[in-house]
Amino acid sequence: MWSPEEPRWGWGPRAPTSLVLLSVLVSAAPLGLLGEETRQLLEFDSTKVSEGAAEPPGKPYPPYSLDKFSWNNITLDPDTLSTTFQGHPIDDPTGAFANGSLAFKVQAFSRSGRPAQPPRLLHTADTCQLEVALVGASSQGNHSLFGLEVVTLGNGPDCPSMKEQRSIDDEYAPAVFQLDQLLWGSLPSGFMQWRPVAFSQKQRNRESSLPCQASSLSPTLAYSLPHSPIVQAFFGSQNNFCTFNLTFGDPTGPGYWDQHYLCWSMLLGVGLPPIDSLSPLVLGIMAVALGAPGLVLLGGGLALLLRHKWYSEYQSIN
């Protein structure tokens, strides 16, 4: 039974199907996504960022409010259960988006699996993926860092809990050993999941990876969900909201300025989040690493036994 203190993630005891999730995403995107709303595209002066700071953000430039974007360029792909919203500011006096755009791609899944490109988060039929890409837009500084301001539904009077998971396995996201999660409730009833990495090139590899830093959540004033009948029916009446920022990159290393490209993705879903198991490659390495000493000891023991047997069977010719 749903109560006002918990997000209403579905109708009745059954979790929504991938098509229902996609319908909710499409009706709410690009601003409202399963209770998440990306409010602003943030930009900071990276020369004013303290290296290693937990929450950059340095000197901010004027942000771009996404509710003042035009999202007329929409591409629907039924084969992949995905929709891409490509937008630009309605009023762009500086021409920053004259040759650029901000795109939100939302995708539902009919079965478990992983995308072909990093960070290759494990998805199920109860999850949807959101991919954000900033392409070709001119920055307001020579070495700008970009970020997103996100507003999310609160868990009653409190904000959702932010948790980190660490692993020794980085096969699916090279050099990234952490998984961040936003959880609603102790069960939980819903989640947001991402790896703290973005990419500055379409070829998403280790060389183009950027760190992704998340600020702590804090309550915000009452905020309105998108005025979509599907979203209102899905979430009901909510007035508890929290906000946090995601910032991509740091002053050193690769950045958006390299190829004017930035891409980041996350998973949204109902129920328990998918649990990553160790990849076959890592399991093989562990088996070899742990098994090799045992094989050496076993071989040494057999050699001693055989040597002892040979000496005991040896008879002098005298």
Range with the largest mean pLDDT of 79-93, 173-187, 210-224? 79-93
Query: Is the pLDDT confidence value at 298 over 80?
Result: no
Residue owning tokens 């309550």? 219
- Write out the H or E segment, with its range, that includes residue 64: strand 64-65
Q: What angle do CA 75, 262, 22 make, to 5 degrees?
A: 35
Which residue range is the domain that position 290 belongs to? Answer: 278-318
Which pLDDT tens digit goes with each residue over 111-160?
A: 899 888 889 888 888 888 999 999 999 999 888 999 998 888 776 778 88
For residue 111, how far is the Cα from the chain centroid?
A: 19
For residues 56 and 187, membership in a common domain is answered with: yes
For residues 286 and 269, membership in a common domain is answered with: no
Query: Within a domain: residue 53?
Result: yes
Which pLDDT tens digit goes with each residue over 8-35?
A: 333 333 444 555 555 555 545 555 554 5
For residues 172 and 269, membership in a common domain is answered with: yes
For residues 65 and 121, membership in a common domain is answered with: yes
Identify the burial level of 221 via C-beta atoms within 10 angstroms of its C-beta, where 0-12 means exposed, 13-18 middle and 19 or more buried: exposed
Nearest in space to 37 (alpha carbons), one of 238, 274, 273: 238
In this prediction the pTM is 0.75
Residue owning tokens 């002053």? 251
For residue 151, how far is the Cα from the chain centroid?
A: 16
What are the φ/ψ torsions at residue 157 (nearest 5 degrees)?
A: -80, -10
For residues 126 and 220, membership in a common domain is answered with: yes
For residues 318 and 199, membership in a common domain is answered with: no
Query: Within a domain: residue 9?
Result: no
Between the CA of residue 116 and those of 113, 119, 145, 203, 205, what are the distances in Å? Answer: 10, 9, 27, 12, 12
For residues 255 and 289, membership in a common domain is answered with: no
For residues 284 and 209, membership in a common domain is answered with: no
For residues 173 and 283, membership in a common domain is answered with: no
Domain count, the chain: 2
Instruction: Give 273 or 98, the one with higher predicted confidence.
Output: 98
Query: Within a domain: residue 52?
Result: yes
